Amino acid sequence: MAGIVIDRIAKSFGAVSALKEVSLEIADGEFVALLGPSGCGKTTLLRIMAGLETRSSGRVLIGGRDVSDLKPYERGLAMVFQNYAVFPHMTVYDNVGFGLTMQKKPKDVIDRQVKKAAALLHIEPYLERYPAKLSGGQRQRVAVARALAVEPAVLLMDEPLSNLDALLRLEMRAELKSVLREAGTTTVYVTHDQTEAMGLADRIAVMHGGKIVQIAPPTEVYSRPASMFVGGFVGSPPMNFIPVEARAGSVALGGQTLAAPRASGALTLGFRGEDVTLAPPGEAMPFTVRVAEPMGSHLLLTGRIGDAVVRVVAPPASIVKAGETVGLRLDPDRIVFMDAATGAATDLAA
Amino acid sequence: MTQSRWLPYALIAPAMVFLGIFFIVPLVQTIMLSFQGGSGFGLENYSKMVGDLNFGLAIKNTFLLVLTVIPLQVGLALAMGMMLQKMTAGRDVVLWIWTIPLGVSDLAAGLVWLALLQNTGYINSMLFAMGLIEGPTPWLNSETPVTLFVAVVLAEVWRATAIVLVILVGGLQLIPKEFGEAAEIFGAKPWTRFTRITLPLLKPSLQSALILRTVLAFEVFAVVYALGGRNFPVLVGEAYVWQRENQNYGVAAAYAVLVMIISLAATIFWLRALRTKPEAQA
Ligand SMILES: Nc1ncnc2c1ncn2[C@@H]1O[C@H](COP(=O)(O)OP(=O)(O)O)[C@@H](O)[C@H]1O
Ligand SMILES: [Mg+2]
């Protein structure tokens, strides 16, 4: 078991700077998701941790030991690849036992560990089969079992579920979470899917343009995003942003007066679609509905406040039609203010 | 729209006609010819072939060449291919240079090596100028079978390793790099990765390269002829001699049929030896 310290890791590919001095501390046994849009440097960071990619500068520590210049297999970690990378010319048994075979473990130890990992991932019936005879979900289980069989201190996963269909992804997600919790393995999980990150991780590191822009537990990333980017990237629907003007330390919005973090000036107000209540149009912020989508569990309303596009989640039984104007009342405890110029959160307490 | 049933056949018809006229017909003719002797239809040509003084030698030499050249070529091509995989800059240029001999005909290749190795060749002149030898040293006559053999092997390796290389490079590029990386993560050292991951996954390409090279190697002739004339008899060389010098087309045809049978056997051997079980395919 081991914690991970990423100390000012930077990486450039020629003129392209993929990572800009990224630092991150992961506790022993913690599950951290690296979340961000495609091309933000998640894979590069994970591969540098694994030792598959060279770094331009900085250090990686695992279990307090500087592993920056060690070979991948000297770092005491295992990895699950996006395309599984399950060896096609070996049976499932040999695949799962590959790491132990490489460590020259005795046959009976290998057998015990393979059976244990196979049981954990429910792949015992396929042990003698070749991967070509397995479905995508089963191959993914083999890849995870191969990683867990070596009982690694650290498990790295790069978008392990992205090649599975939606239903299987949901199933595997829950299963991964319980299996890894049981194993107590320190896990770094790369994904561009915010629901995956929210569901799995103890903490989410949101990446953008080669930097970590926020690292916090899922609920905090969701309700207290560090920037407009995070608010817009995490959550479905994304956070709504409307421009407001602070006067005398508060913001007046259609009948509501909200405490502002600054005495005066332009701000951006952020709120989640579900943190509003519908009110008669005269008594609250006027919201012109363009589209109403009944989603079953809720009613999704898309429309405008002023010039800003806003999405609101209303109770499923609400009677709102497209073209109507309704009032929105905000929950003052669940709003965030962003600097209008930089998009960064302005902490109310500051 | 359902495609008409005859369309695929119509499309391959020209190729089939071509193959029929220029391959099947001469093949059947050759086989017929090999059975036609002075005393009618029979094995007369074959007994003449087997009874010839050079026959045993030609068989021995051809097999010796194949068994020496093929492992050398495959080993070299694998090493070169793996080096190319590791390269980033200049990879294409190196591959291009390595494949230049592919553009040289086998007779021309033989002549190049003859110019290097004959009594008044470049190598003799160079060694003489350096004071390492007393005078022109013959390497390619019947009294020096070992150096002649080595010269033929050298020329063949120089000439035809590139075709193996090209096939293997194609195969190596088809192996996703994640397989090697996964093996590395789980503790496989470079040599283990090569033997346990790369080689097994390269099997289909190795098989193609070996079939192609073995069949062509059993047909070795021009390089041998340029370097050693009849000092180093090989099967196709004997066919040539019977056809040209002895004007005996029947025995020449028997040689041709023999080479064909050996090639077929070699092909079947590689198909079996390097079979990938269907369930173990990538
Ligand atoms: N081997 C490479 N050579 C050049 N550029 C690369 C290489 N790998 C990644 N990059 C670049 O680095 C950036 C980050 O890539 P990556 O880490 O794969 O992003 P992510 O996994 O978040 O989608 C991208 O701009 C990508 O084009
Ligand atoms: Mg990626």
pLDDT of residue B230: 85
Contacts A99 to B, Cβ<8 Å? 186-187
Q: Which of A205, A136, A145, A206 is nearest to A180 (CA)?
A: A145
Nearest protein Cα to ligand 1, atom 1: A13
pLDDT along chain A (350 residues), means of 10: 90 93 94 95 95 94 94 93 93 96 95 93 92 90 93 93 85 87 90 92 95 95 94 92 89 84 88 91 87 92 91 90 90 91 72
pLDDT of residue B89: 86
Nearest CA in chain A to B201: A89
Q: Which of A12, A13, A211 to mutate to test the pocket of ligand 1 (most atoms within 8 A of CB)?
A: A13
Nearest protein Cα to ligand 1, atom 27: A39
Measure B244 CA to nearest chain A CA, in Å.
Answer: 51
Contacts A72 to B, Cβ<8 Å? 181, 184-185
Neighbours of B93 (CB within 10 A): 10
Q: Measured between alpha carbons, how far is residue A117 from residues A34, A151, B270 in Å?
A: 25, 9, 38
Domain count of chain B? 1
* Averaged pLDDT for residues B195-219: 95
pLDDT of residue A350: 41
B217 in a structural domain: yes
| B14-49 pLDDT tens trace | 999 999 999 999 999 999 999 988 777 888 999 999
Domains of chain A: 4-229 (3.40.50.300), 237-339 (2.40.50.140)
Q: Which of B152, B143, B132 is nearest to B220 (CA)?
A: B152
pLDDT of residue B2: 63
| B181/A71 CB distance under 8 A | no
Inform me whether the C-beta atom of residue B178 falls under 8 Å from chain A C-beta atoms: yes
Exposure of B23 in the CB half-sphere (CA atoms within 13 A): 7
CA of A44 relative to ligand 1 center, distance in Å: 6
- What value of ipTM does the predicted structure carry? 0.85
A206-226: b or e for each residue (b if 16 or more CB lie within 10 Å)? bbbebebbbbbebeebbbbbb
Q: Which residues line ligand 1 (CB under 6 A)?
A: A 13, 16, 18, 36, 38-44
Centroid of chain to Cα A316? 28
B212 in a structural domain: yes
Measure A129 CA to nearest chain B CA, in Å.
Answer: 8
Contact B233, B57 (CB under 8 A): yes
B258 in a structural domain: no
B161-186: b or e for each residue (b if 16 or more CB lie within 10 Å)? bbbbbbbbbebbeebeebbbbbbbbb
Neighbours of B99 (CB within 10 A): 15
pLDDT of residue A99: 95
Inform me whether the C-beta atom of residue A104 falls under 8 Å from chain B C-beta atoms: no
Of A83, A85, A103, the CB nearest to B187: A103
Least confident of B97-106, B107-116, B130-139, B220-229: B130-139
B236 in a structural domain: no
Q: What tokens does A264 get?
A: 């005066």
* Averaged pLDDT for residues B132-139: 81
| B182/A88 CB distance under 8 A | no
Domain span holding position B71: 64-230
pLDDT of residue A348: 44
pLDDT above 90 (res B118): no
Q: Which of A99, A85, A51, A141 is nearest to B179 (CA)?
A: A85
| B211-251 pLDDT tens trace | 999 999 999 999 999 998 888 999 999 999 999 988 999 99
B21 in a structural domain: no
What is the maximum alpha-carbon separation in chain A?
77
Here the CATH number for the domain that contains residue B136 is 1.10.3720.10
B26 in a structural domain: no
B115 in a structural domain: yes
Contacts B185 to A, Cβ<8 Å? 50, 52, 72-73, 77-79
B272 in a structural domain: no
